[in-house]
A and B are shown apart, each in its own frame.
Chain A
Amino acid sequence: MISVRRYLGHYLGLSLLALTIATVAGCTKKSEPSGEGAQSAANVGIVGDEILVGQFGAFTGSEATFGQSTDKGVRMAFDEKNQAGGIKGKKLKLISIDNQGKAEEAAAAITRLITQNNVIAVIGEVASSRSLAAAPIAQQHKIPMITPSSTNPRVTEVGDYIFRVCFIDPFQGTVMAKFAHEHLKVKRVAVLRDMKSDYSIGLADFFIKKFTELGGTIVADEKYQSGESSFEGQLTQIKAEKPEAIFIPGYYTEVGLIAKQARKLGITATLLGGDGWDSSKLYEIGGDDINGGYFSNHYTTESTDPVVVNFIKKFKERYNGETPDALAAAGYDAAKVLIEAMERAPELTPKAIRDEIAKTKDFVGVTGKITIDENRNASKPAVVVRVDGPNNRFVTTIAP
């Protein structure tokens, strides 16, 4: 008898382990928003007269400006549509979930959006690595996902429910190689890539491929890791090779620091980059040293295209005079492509919406004319801009 009691007490911990899980799991059921969780498969994403659309992004963390900008663009598009009467008499409701810029959180976030909030479609993510973590889950549940600005080719290869409204890495690398060759007429270029970012590696690879094809020489291929703050070692190596231009396909924080340190070392080569440069923080960090650098981008605020002018005007009115960056524009376009597809769809089901997104042709977006190709990528032109103080000056457009 005693032994039984002893044994019970001894292993009570184990039994309680099971109990704890049961209790906490029981609590979660209650915390589920009522109504949304109990939808049948037939009307996914429709609650009353609201259409639920999910968005996941890095609203906090080191790339928070990306997530927040995108969110602003998406919200603006949704509110405009709702003011104009909504879709088929229903209003759009956006559910945004933060993933703190972490890959495993992105997987949890999209699973939550799809299985708990029951959204009809998902918009996200900016960073390719997080889109890659999330895309298989959207594909598995057959919920269309549109990424506004994940440029890694692999993202849309995951499946037929994954789309993007931006160009892909090979294209940006190619654009800058063409630009360096034709516009700047340089022959010797050094590359400084961020080994921690697949985006940076992709751009660098395709830049090197195109540039050598065009007859140029890559004199150095140096590497750094985002999060570092001293790049003098790599820059000294590059300086010794006397390049005419340096291609730095990184993110704004490091690029700003690199520019400062390069000028300090006496490097006068032109700096080139991709859309990771696009942030008002670039000039804050890099100061005058970043002036005169060129980067490829999705759109430019200097465009005289009425669509762009109108978008910037409305955005500034809505967000206290803030100038929209390319990510806001891409988010706006992603939302618009989704809205148009919903309008055209004969019924509001994920399948019907997917089919209509795939048919998007010559959609006039803020970031250019978007046509979704058979690989679910957007084919559209890129712009090249020059950094000039806090503003970016439009230089040229390069078609696919």
Chain B
Amino acid sequence: MPKLIIDDREIEVEAGTNLIEAARRLGIEIPHYCYHPALSIAGQCRLCMVDIEKTPRPTIACNTLAADGMVVRTDTERVRETRRSIMEFHLINHPLDCPVCDQAGECWLQIYYMKHGLYDPRMVDEKVHKPKAVPLGPHVILDAERCILCSRCVRFCDEITDTGELGIFNRGDHSELALFPGRDLTNNYSGNVVDICPVGALTDRDFRFQVRVWYLDTARSVCPGCARGCNIDVHVNRRRPHHAEGRRVARLKPRFNPDVNAWWMCDVGRYDQHGVVDSPGRLPVPLGRAGAAQVEVGWEEAVAAVADALRAHGPEAVAVLASPHMANEDLMALRVVLERAGVRQVAFRVPPAAPADGDDFLLRADRTPNVRGAELIGLDGDAAAILAAARAGRLRALWVFDHDLTTAGWPAAEVAEALGRVETLIYAGAVASATSARARWVLPTATWVEREGTLTNFEGRVQRFRTALEPLGRSLPAWELLGRVLAALGGTPPGPRAEHWFRALASAVPAFAGMTYRTVGDGGQMVAGAVPGGAPVPPGRRAVVGAAG
């Protein structure tokens, strides 16, 4: 393992580590644009120059591997002057439109100009003009004037998605990032090029002009869009609610986890998941009935009624359709409630109307985040049998979580018959649906960004998601409303936080034995006996290198 000295400090790194990564480990940041640890080395931006002893000129750190005995300096006057000059080059044709640029506030041109530039501009000529506000596909928009031609996005489409939509065309100061004529950036990972773009050239159409990034708050979370559970950050706009017409979730960004999703997330997760949080169909308050109409009721009334319904009819006449969208804590709380009430008919596998497909990278065919958790917690009964029991008139109370049975993969006539014959239909979920509209009691639940909890992904990795927003209206996390039902049944919830339910889970279910929120941490923890498979190899890395060189 090579041992080298960077800025007078010695460090030993694995062979094959470049100087940017070696310095990073010492807490020294070598500025760079084109280098990205997931992509091949381009050496294009020239910003990562460092001085290496016995080398006549500054050298790019990205393409220099740490070698034994190397003495590197990242802070000489010559390095500083080089960075200043390179910043001046990068900004020669830059339109300086920060006031209308979404990237402002998280732009590496701004950051590095303030850190390494601060020169007096000498540019007196007309700047080169290039296409602006060009949609590249459904999610990404290009401003070619802001582009510094680092080629990260081009390499992403070659080396990660293997789709090759983008290129840098023409020459000299006419060089321009663009799509191959006739193509669109429609691959399911297109949003990632916005993340890796160090400047404002590629911005997100969904986030565009919503809110300034410095007004955003961030919470670590997990994408609920499929069974992989990509690690994400949820960015929410609480401080400027008037800027985005009440939309609170501004955007989702992938969070690095080498064992799950690496640096990436798919567009299905990024753009299709947060809509529910700010959906106009959200259920803000508990509902009961006055005649045919659904009317607002207090939680106490609703909880007491649900507890009565569970206990009044006897185990044969009560069933629960839980949901794989529920967190481990919710499912544990449900299990305890059902044990307390003596209810044994519980299932969670309601078939979707049309089975989804996975893709060749992160997205799984199972578009729910917690099937594994629901299985381990022991709620995996026969959903079709519950439907049949309801149709046969054997159920007097049915409690449905999240599912809209009327759009599920069951024949509509059978669902209608079943819902018609159940005396007390209880619905718990975040969004109104044809199922909730038929319910006697509607219990509004908080969405995943409005609460904390854990999910168990398809591999058996338990992962935490955290609270980014307050629950809408009077909605409650499912574990909390289940705790209230438990109390109404004479039981005692383990405590006032989700974590208490997780502890109850860890002591009741052997697969979770010994786990705490602390041990799960930010990287997740495998349930007992599960073997981690690691993040999948990107499609662009699977081909045999060498054929194309």
Q: Do A and B bind?
A: no
Interface residues of B (CB under 8 A from A): none
